[in-house]
Amino acid sequence: MATDDLTRIETVENAQGVATAWAHERRLAVRDFDEFARDWFLRAAPENRVRINLRATLESFHSVCKHYETEWATNVALLADLTSSWNLETVKHLAVFNVAGIAGAAALLTNPAYASQIATKLALPLFAGGLIAALLNFWTNTRGNALAYRHALKQRRAATSAREWKDVGAFLEEFKGKFTPTDWFSIAERVGWSSAAFGLAGVACLGVSLM
């Protein structure tokens, strides 16, 4: 323990000076610890206002911030890839489904053997419903991943810009808004099952018409 570790800190300015020196020793000048030092000085009991206590608290604070900054940075990278993938898949499947739907409808309508049957006529709207539900599935998943990505990005920035202990609580905040990523994923799951149900019903109708 250095001889000055037990030196008392008498003013906010002294506390800020200790914090600045501590940050420079660790090359952490990118983060401003003035607000943290001020908050620590005002909250700490007078008998605990010594250099070693402030340094230890700074070390703990920085460790917590760094942990969450790294964690959210990982989430941001992952969710960025997911968002990009879902956007790409949405565009691809929109084209594929539309072309397949148009081709299938045209083929059935031009074939008298099938076009006149009730089962075939029922199959068309069922497949159309399945197509719409499938596209909604892609879109809602895209929305959910996009919101989750933006939330992770916000949390990473909060971890980077934290100035006081009270700021740490922001790292763990749930998404706030009318629709959360979980809401979108829940909708996506429901429309996904709907799409499968419509498709199976359409296959059943075609099977009946071919019998």
Question: What is the C-alpha separation between 33 and 41, in angstroms, rounded?
Answer: 12
Closest listed residue to residue 137, CA positions, set 81, 76, 198? 198
Among the residues of 44-178, which ranges form H helices? 51-109, 112-115, 118-161
Is residue 11 over pLDDT 70?
Answer: yes
| Confidence grade of residue 189 (pLDDT, cut at 50, 70, 90) | confident
Question: What is the C-alpha separation between 184 and 189, in angstroms, rounded?
Answer: 9
Question: What is the C-alpha separation between 65 and 62, in angstroms, rounded?
Answer: 5
What is the CB neighbour count within 10 angstroms for residue 73?
Answer: 16
| Confidence grade of residue 104 (pLDDT, cut at 50, 70, 90) | low
What pLDDT score was predicted for residue 99?
A: 64
Question: What is the C-alpha separation between 206 and 82, in angstroms, rounded?
Answer: 36
Averaged pLDDT for residues 107-125: 76
By the 8 A CB rule, do 7 and 50 touch?
yes
Closest listed residue to residue 159, CA positions, set 54, 36, 74, 70? 70
